[in-house]
Amino acid sequence: MSDSPEVKLKDELAATTRHGLEVLPVAVTDAFERSIEDLRTSGAARGLKVGDDAPDFTLSNQTGDSVTLSEELAHGPVILTFYRGEWCPFCNLELRAYQQLLDRIHEAGARLLAVSPQTPDHSLSIQEKNGLGYHVLSDLHNKVAEKYQLTFRLAEDVQQVYQSIGIALDQFNDDDSWELPVPATYVIDPQGVIRFASVDPDYRTRAEPEDVVRFAERI
Give me the CATH number covering residue 103: 3.40.30.10
Cα–Cα distance, 202 to 37 (Å, whole number): 8
| 182: nearest Cα among 115, 134, 95, 92 | 115
- Kindly report, residue by residue over 34-67, the tens digit of the pLDDT: 999 999 998 888 999 999 999 999 999 999 999 9
What pLDDT shows up at residue 154? 94
What percentage of the chain exceeds 90 in pLDDT?
95
Give yes or no for a contact between 127 and 121, defined as CB atoms under 8 angstroms apart: no
**pLDDT by residue (tens digit) across 90-136?**
999 999 999 999 999 999 999 999 999 999 999 999 999 999 999 99
Report helix, strand or coil for 96.
helix
Within-domain flag for 168: yes
Is the predicted pLDDT of residue 197 greater than 60, yes or no?
A: yes
Asked if residue 111 is part of any domain, the answer here is yes
Q: Specify the pLDDT at position 5.
A: 56
Question: Residue 72's pLDDT is what?
Answer: 98
Nearest alpha-carbon partner for 132 in 107, 100, 88, 91: 100
**Residue 162's pLDDT band (boundaries 50, 70, 90)?**
very high
Q: Annotate 91-113 with b (16+ C-beta within 10 A) or e (fewer).
A: bbbbbbbbbbbbebbeebebbbb
Structural domain harbouring 124 = 9-217
Q: How far apart are CA 190 and CA 74, in angstroms?
A: 6
Work out the pLDDT band at 4, boundaries 50, 70, 90: low
Q: Are 117 and 88 in contact (CB under 8 A)?
A: no
Q: State the average pLDDT for the chain.
A: 94
Within a domain: residue 3? no
Beta bridge partners of 185: 81, 198
Q: Residue 19: exposed, middle, or buried by beta-carbon count in 10 A (0-12, 13-18, 19+)?
A: exposed
Sign of CA dihedral 204, 105, 215, 117: positive
Instruction: Report the distance separating Cα 9 and Cα 198, nearest Å.
Output: 15
Contact criterion met (CB below 8 Å) for 90 and 13: yes
Within-domain flag for 71:
yes
SS3 of residue 58 by DSSP: strand
Single-letter amino acid, residue 218: R
pLDDT at residue 2, as a whole number: 43
pLDDT at residue 193 tops 60: yes
Domain assignment present for 1: no
2 belongs to a structural domain: no
pLDDT at residue 7, rounded to an integer: 76
Q: Whole-prediction pTM value?
A: 0.93
Q: Per the domain annotation, does 162 fall within a domain? A: yes
Secondary structure letter of residue 134 according to DSSP: S
Domain count, the chain: 1
